[in-house]
Amino acid sequence: MNENMIKQLLLAVKTGEMDIEQAVCQFKNLPFEDLGYAKIDHHRQLRKGFPEVIYGEGKTSEHIVNIMKKLKERSCSNVLATRINKEVYEVIKEQLPEAKYYQDARILMIEQGEKKARGCIVILSAGTSDLPVAEEAAITAEAMGNNVVRIYDTGVAGIHRLLAQRERLNQAKVIIVVAGMEGALASVVGGLVDKPIIAVPTSVGYGTSFNGLSALLTMLNSCASGVSVVNIDNGFGAAYSASLINALGEE
């Protein structure tokens, strides 16, 4: 409901095209669709530049299917559902044959609309166990129209593996660093480049990793500047932020 829409409504009232009760109603009826168990936010694409994304965890497969279908109808962009386990996908797949499942990333996607390919987002991961989170970020970023470069298994225990990638790092617009255990990778990368870094702590580790808390604290306390952080295992959120940032460079 932007200023233009307000102006047009007011104009319609002034000209008598619309009576006052109708206008009052219009001010209240914003574009969301109420399924009872969910209110789909069709307005989001206007407001945020990308349609609502379904967070699959804790939703029934029936709900997931219905919401994806509704979003597909009303949106002209890719429709995404994250945190879709293989078991859930097996149940869903016949009802949504047009959707593609990315198993590592646990993402289900219906591709539609024109493809964009904005400048490069580099996704670095520290260890092979961080792969699912890194892939959640990668698939999300691609779905949102970004070129993605994956550089995996480059933890600081063998820092030459990272230093060997400096050139590719310097070509990035934004860098997503995915790391569990002690999460030191974000600081080291932050010391090497002049690009914004989104750090994603993962729950990889044991004992005092406390399911990602250790990596999270490391990243929040990074002695290198230019690092901001998202929730543990939130590959999706990192890609979303990175995509908004990357879009700035394209305007």
Task: Tell me which residue has tokens 């310097």.
Answer: 170
Question: Closer CB to a second copy, residue 85 or residue 221?
Answer: 221
Angle at 241 between CA 164 and CA 41, to 5 degrees: 150
Size of the site for a second copy (CB under 8 A): 114
> How far is Cα of residue 95 from the mean position of the Cα atoms in its chain?
24
Q: Which is nearer to a second copy, 37 or 100 (CB)?
A: 37
Q: What share of the chain is helix, strand, coil (3-state, %, to 5)?
A: 45, 20, 35
Q: Quick one: which of 75, 78, 146, 154 contacts a second copy (CB under 8 A)?
A: 154
- String of DSSP letters for 11-30: HHHHHTSS-HHHHHHHHH--
Nearer CB in complex with a second copy: 94/251: 251
Give the shortest CB-97-to-a second copy separation in angstroms: 24
Q: Does 76 bind a second copy (CB under 8 A)?
A: no
Q: What tokens does 56 get?
A: 């699959």
User: Considering the rule CB under 8 A, would residue 25 count as an interface residue with a second copy?
Assistant: no
Residue 201, number of CB atoms within 10 A of its CB: 33
Of the pair 16, 97, the CB lying nearest a second copy is at 16
Pick the binder of a second copy from 49, 98, 103, 113 (CB under 8 A).
Answer: 49
Task: Kindly tell me which residue out of 72, 137, 218, 235 binds a second copy, with binding defined by CB under 8 A.
Answer: 218
Considering only residues 181-200, where is the footprint of a second copy by CB under 8 A? 181-184, 187-188, 190-198
Q: Is 120 in the site for a second copy (CB under 8 A)?
A: no
For a second copy, the closer of residues 78 and 222 by Cβ is: 222
Per CB under 8 A, the list member of 109, 126, 139, 141 interacting with a second copy is 126
d(CA 23, CA 13): 7
Q: What are phi and psi of 146, to 5 degrees?
A: -115, 145
Q: Can you read off the two tokens belonging to residue 3?
A: 């200023």
Q: Does 88 bind a second copy (CB under 8 A)?
A: no
> Residue 149: phi, psi to the nearest 5?
-115, 125
